[in-house]
Each structure stands twice: as structure tokens, then as C-alpha cells.
Amino acid sequence: MTKPDSNPRRILHHGNTSRTKPDFISATRGPGMRSNLSVGLDAGKALAVAWNVPVIGVHHMQAHALTPRLVSALESRATTGPNFPFLSGLVSGGHSMLIESTGLTDHKILATTGDIALGDCLDKAARAILPAHLAVPPYGRALEQFAFPAGASNYNYTAPAKRDAELARRVTKWGWGLGAPLAGSKNGSSSRKMVYSFSGLLSSIERFVKFEYDHQNSTISSQLRQPGHLSDDERRDMAKEVMRVAFEHLASRVMLHLSSLSPAEAAKVNSVVVSGGVAANRFLRHVMRAFLDVRGFSHVELFFPPVELCTDNAAMIGWAGIEMWEAGWRSQLSVRPIKTWSMDPSASDGGILGVEGWLKA
């Protein structure tokens, strides 16, 4: 972030060109692998020392949640939306979380994955389902393109209006069907837990691909499929179904939370943000919107970053730094990368501001 400044101490010269120093440097501090984080963080601190400006160590997941506010600012809207409070679905290859964001540094974890992340599930499902010549990274995008070669015109999707329809197994013309995660527990009690689970869905897909399916008895036989046994049409239906079930499971926890609120509380939640790498999936956007509409929350606005800003990027780190800067926060030059770092102030580490190294301007 820079401002026009005639102070010669604020001017950087390079050959015949000059520019104003930045007000500060943003760098990702965590969470993540320390060895990787240290490269960017140390470079950021070096620039901060060279230019005599502050550094801000940004929380990676906070940056994802704030990305739609960056988009609003770039579009020169009167206000930077979405406004707090809002719900955030942060979905990537390593994270699947539903968060209640009530302030810049106040993010309460409502649900997280008990096993694997949504992005990890879709990547591995893609490698199982796709024909060999199409199973290339990024796998999630390859899965979506294979399932819907004509884009939205292929969706043919109607969101389930009731919970029982949401949890019901839809048997395909091929004889198999994918069950909703957590729906198979006794009395369906786990189906209402505020937790995500994608490992069972992935296991089902891998079994269907590997073993013959006994259509008459609706069971998986012990006979292995012959290489190339699956037709492209069946593979395409598998791709559609694994995404549908996964995305409905993601949306279901948003519905459970909204339905648990009092009318006064629910009226305060007018926005849902979905960010992270999986948010680039356009079918996810369609499913989430359809879910909200059919369940009585058509007034809730959905925010998705542009596809190019869904995956990890420097712009979101820069914007999170701007918001923290304007709130008066700076980082000490002694800060180090953090492998595990919660966003929730009630967590054992105190959340974003609970770790050492913050300075209040």
C-alpha cells in the first residue's frame, strides 16, 4: 500500500526511475510448512529493513476469507463488502472449514473436517475416475471439465428441499449410488453434527471404480473390473455425483447453522463467503446458490472470489495486510513462521492475535 509522498526519504531510486516506498510489507506467516513460509517471510523482513518500513505477518486463512472484500475495493464500491458478520466456507486441498466471521480478527470455527479436506477428496476422486489421458493436474479442474464439458448447460441440478431428500442415496442407472457423508449412522444422529467428512465418499468412488457392481443384488462383488471396463458415460456420471454429494455436504452445514439461529440472529447474517482453491469450481457455486434458495435463504448473498483469486495468491496476502495495517497492527521483525495457527480467539493459541510478535500502532 503506498500513498503519494514528496518526502525524499520516501522515494526509491533505480537508474532513471523512481517510486514511492510502500507503507509496509505483507508476508504470509502461517499456517503451513515452516520451511516454505520462511522463504517469503524472511524476504519480506529483509525488504522492510532495507526500506525502513514495517512488516505484517499475515494469517493465510484469514487472507482467503477477506478476499471478497479486496474484490469490492477493486471495483470501487462505496463499502468494502461483505460486511461483518458473515459466514466463510474455506475449502481447499488442505482445509474444509465453516467459519463465523464477526470482525477482522474474530473468526469462530463452526465446523471443520474430521478426516480429509474437500479438495483432497476431489483430487483423488479425479485420479480414480478420469480416463488416464485426462487425469492431469490440477485434478479438481480436470474433474469438473470432464463432468460438465458444456459448462452450466449440463448441470441439470435441483437442490433437495428437505433433509430427508438430501440424505437419501440416489441410485444411478448404472446401479450404484453415493450416500451422503455421515448419513449412515444409527438414527441419522451424526448427519446433524457440525463436522465435515469426505473420506467415506472417496472410498466409495474408489471401490466402484475398482470392483464390479452387482446390479441385481445392489452389492459390490469381489470381482475386479477389467482395465477400461468403465465407459466414459459412467465415468462422467461418477464425476458429477461425487461433486454433487460433496458440495451438498458442504452446503448442509451452512444450512444447519443458519437454521439453528434465532430469527434475530439469522437476520444479521446476510452474506456467505466461499473461498480457497475449491471455490473456483463453478458447479459448487451453482449448488450453494440453489441450496440457499430452496431452503428459504434467498436473501443471503454469496461471495466467491474471481477464479484467478481462489487459489493461493499474493493479492489476498497484500489485502489482508492492508486491513490489518488500517486496524493498527504491525509485526515485530523477530516473528517466525507458524506451522499451526488458529483463526478462532477461543482456541488454545488465542487465534490470529494470540501469537507473539504483534505490535499495536
217/53 Cα distance (integer angstroms): 70
Total residue count of the chain as it appears in this document: 361
Strand partners, 101: 86, 107
> Does the pLDDT at position 150 exceed 70?
yes
**Positive or negative, the Cα torsion across 313, 315, 320, 321?**
positive
314/311 Cα distance (integer angstroms): 10
Burial class (CB in 10 A: 0-12, 13-18, 19+), 16: exposed
The larger pLDDT score, comparing residue 3 to residue 168, is at 168
Across the range 328-355, mean pLDDT stands at 96
115/91 Cα distance (integer angstroms): 14
Residue type, 295: R
Residue type, 127: R
DSSP secondary structure letters along 34-72: HHHHHHHHHHHHHHHHHHT--EEEEEHHHHHHHHHHHHH
Which candidate, 42, 67, 41, 20, places its Cα nearest to that of 323? 67
Cell of 223: 470381482
For 69-106, letters b (16+ CB in 10 Å) and e give bbbbeeeeeeebbbeebbbbbbbbbbbbbbbbbeebbb
pLDDT in tens, 16-49: 777 788 999 999 999 999 999 999 999 999 999 9
pLDDT of res. 175? 86
pLDDT in tens, 51-76: 999 999 999 999 999 998 998 888 87
- Domain annotation for the chain: domains and CATH numbers: 8-86+310-360 (3.30.420.40), 112-309 (3.30.420.40)
pLDDT of res. 240? 97
Which candidate, 83, 255, 50, places its Cα nearest to that of 165? 255
Cell of 189: 444422529
55/43 Cα distance (integer angstroms): 11
Cell of 100: 463465523
Contacts of 60 (CB under 8 A, 6+ apart): 28, 30, 31, 32, 312, 317
Cell of 40: 517469503
Share of the chain above pLDDT 90, in %: 71
pTM for this model (two decimals):
0.87
| Cβ neighbours, 10 Å, residue 126 | 26
Q: Are 334 and 343 in contact (CB under 8 A)?
A: no
The larger pLDDT score, comparing residue 4 to residue 267, is at 267
Cell of 106: 474474530
Distances (CA, A) of 273 to 97, 105, 178, 188, 337: 11, 16, 27, 28, 27
Cα Rg, the chain, nearest whole Å: 23
pLDDT of res. 293? 96
What is the average pLDDT value for the chain, to the nearest integer?
89
